[in-house]
Amino acid sequence: MMKLSLQQISPLYFRASTMLLGAIGLFIYVALKGERMRPVGREWLSIAVLGLPNVLGWHTMSIFGVQELASGRAAILGFTMPIFTVLIGAFFFGERVTARVRLAVLCVGMAIGLLLWHEIQGLSGRPIGVAWMLGAAFSWALGTLMFRRAHLTLSPLVVTVWMLLLGSFVVWALALSLDPLPKPNTFSPTMWGSLAYGVFINYGFAQLIWFGMARDLPASTSAMSIMAIPLVGTLSATVITGEMPHWQDWSAMVFVMVAIASVLWPTKQKA
Domain containing residue 49: 2-264
**How many whole angstroms separate alpha carbon 74 and alpha carbon 16?**
19
Looking at the structure of the chain, the number of domains it has is: 1
Q: Is residue 138 part of a domain?
A: yes
Q: Please answer whether residues 194 and 5 qualify as being in contact, where contact means their C-beta atoms are separated by less than 8 angstroms.
A: yes
Q: Is residue 173 part of a domain?
A: yes
Q: Is residue 269 part of a domain?
A: no
Q: Is residue 66 part of a domain?
A: yes
Note the pLDDT of residue 28. 94
Note the pLDDT of residue 249. 76
Note the pLDDT of residue 157. 87
Burial tier of 265 (Cβ tally within 10 Å: 0-12, 13-18, 19+): exposed
Q: Please answer whether residues 11 and 189 qualify as being in contact, where contact means their C-beta atoms are separated by less than 8 angstroms.
A: no
Note the pLDDT of residue 129. 77
**How many whole angstroms separate alpha carbon 147 and alpha carbon 93?**
12
Q: Is residue 271 part of a domain?
A: no
Q: Is residue 158 part of a domain?
A: yes
**How many whole angstroms separate alpha carbon 51 and alpha carbon 170?**
11
Note the pLDDT of residue 49. 94
> Which residues in the chain land under pLDDT 50?
271
Q: Is residue 98 part of a domain?
A: yes
Percent of the chain residues past pLDDT 90, beyond the cut = 28
Q: Is residue 63 part of a domain?
A: yes
Note the pLDDT of residue 45. 93
Q: Give pLDDT tens digits for 89-117.
A: 888 888 888 888 888 888 888 887 887 77
pTM confidence score: 0.79
